[in-house]
Chains A and B, each alone.
Chain A
Amino acid sequence: MSATAFTIGLNVDLAAAVASYFTKFRVLPPRSLVVNSTVTPRGPASFETLLNAIKAATTTSFVIVVHGYEDGSGLYLPLANRGQSPHGARTKHDKLQMLMTIAGRTPPQATATERTDLDLRDAEIDRLIGLMGDARGKHIQAIEFRGCNLGKNANSVARFRSFFGAASFGAPNLHSFFGRNPVGTGASLMASHASSHQGTTYTYSQTFAGKTCHCCIGVNDERKPQNGHVVADDDATVDAWIQANFDSKATRGTDRRLPIHGLWQFPDLNLNDPDILVNTDPRPIFPLQRDAQNHNAYQAHVVYSP
């Protein structure tokens, strides 16, 4: 299924990393969307701008990368545009429900309380309701959010899907990260790469035909990804790592930096486990990565509605 990827409200480097990722690895599991292009819509970074971009798009499936709230309640985007600036309440599921409720009235008139809650004027509310109708009129096949945490909240998943009228709507219940990270190979580098680490760094190793690939991820004070690199015994092992985690047909090619995307998991502490300090390190889950039971772990963390 052909899709357009949108980035909005991200810093320039993150938006570039997202574009780089979907240029190299165009197929996004688990729904196998094929990303044709990655676009940052022009205009204020708002939900209204995103809706206008969806309206104008030629595809009916979308990958959307926007910053999400930690609790999964919505997106950091203000709802509307006022002049050349984003304005209004943030795009949370309760605000979308409010807009849908208003749209269901005859005529679709907001109450004073709703205007206050949305922090919008009637004309702005009308525009959003109109754009909601436009999105529904497109008969969207699939929307895959790849911002952080939206899938944590069942109301978010249900209400965002309903707002868009999408046949399929998915969002991860974990943090989502992107990077463009240096990649190198050889015995010397394998022996010395740790000297390049910056700050607290976790090394995630996978072995292919007896050779190893390390993906090293440096974390910030909250133990969330902030830097990384990939080192392996040889080029073939890098390719095997890419094919196991990102795209079964892709190779590194001549790239010295590799676009990377994953979800970031903090294992739950099980207080009933006598060995609760084991395996508490955070870890990445790459799109094709399988767990010990051969489940696709990434897929397990993308929550769908219905």
Chain B
Amino acid sequence: MARTISASVGKGGVNRKDDSITVQELLNGVPPEQGGPTPPLKVDGLPWQKTIAAIQNFQKVALGHKWPDGRVDPGGKTLAKLNEFDQPPPVAEELPPGPMWLA
């Protein structure tokens, strides 16, 4: 399920702590070659320079923005794109065997 934020995060944003954590986690889920931060961001809910730079890099690489604004808005394209990378890790499926009997 797509993750949401209640207000903008990043440069000039409202930067609520819960929302900032969401954005930092989403950014960390993006592979570096597709615009994710290297090294991963510290998930602390404080969207300072490194987080804003990571947002801008993501907007540049993943969205092709020539002039990235460094901000993630609720319902915006940046958040939607981040959610595309937010796939749950594959869970090993199990199929416990059923009993067999000799006649």
Contacts and interface: CB of A to CB of B under 8 A. Distances in A.
A156 to B, nearest CB: 15
Interface in B32-89: none
A260 to B, nearest CB: 7
Interface size class, chain B: 10 to 19
A88 interface: no
B103 A227 contact: no
B102 A196 contact: no
A192 B94 contact: yes
Contacts of B99: 13, 179-180, 226-227
Contact of B96 (A65, A148, A217, A229): A229
A195 B97 CA distance: 11
A192 to B, nearest CB: 4
B100 interface: yes
Interface string A194-219: 01111001000000000000001110
Contacts of B97: 181-182, 196-198, 201, 216, 218, 227-229
A228 B103 contact: no
Please classify the interface of chain B as helix (H, G, I), strand (E, B), loop, or mixed, using the class held by over half of its residues: loop
Interface residues of A, number: 46
27 contacts: A11-B101, A17-B101, A66-B103, A67-B102, A68-B103, A175-B102, A176-B102, A177-B101, A178-B100, A179-B98, A181-B97, A181-B98, A182-B98, A184-B95, A188-B92, A188-B93, A189-B93, A192-B92, A193-B95, A196-B95, A196-B96, A196-B97, A218-B97, A226-B100, A228-B97, A228-B100, A229-B98
Interface of B: 90, 92-103
Given A14-B103, A188-B92, A198-B96, 7 more contacts: A17-B100, A65-B103, A148-B102, A148-B103, A178-B100, A184-B95, A196-B94
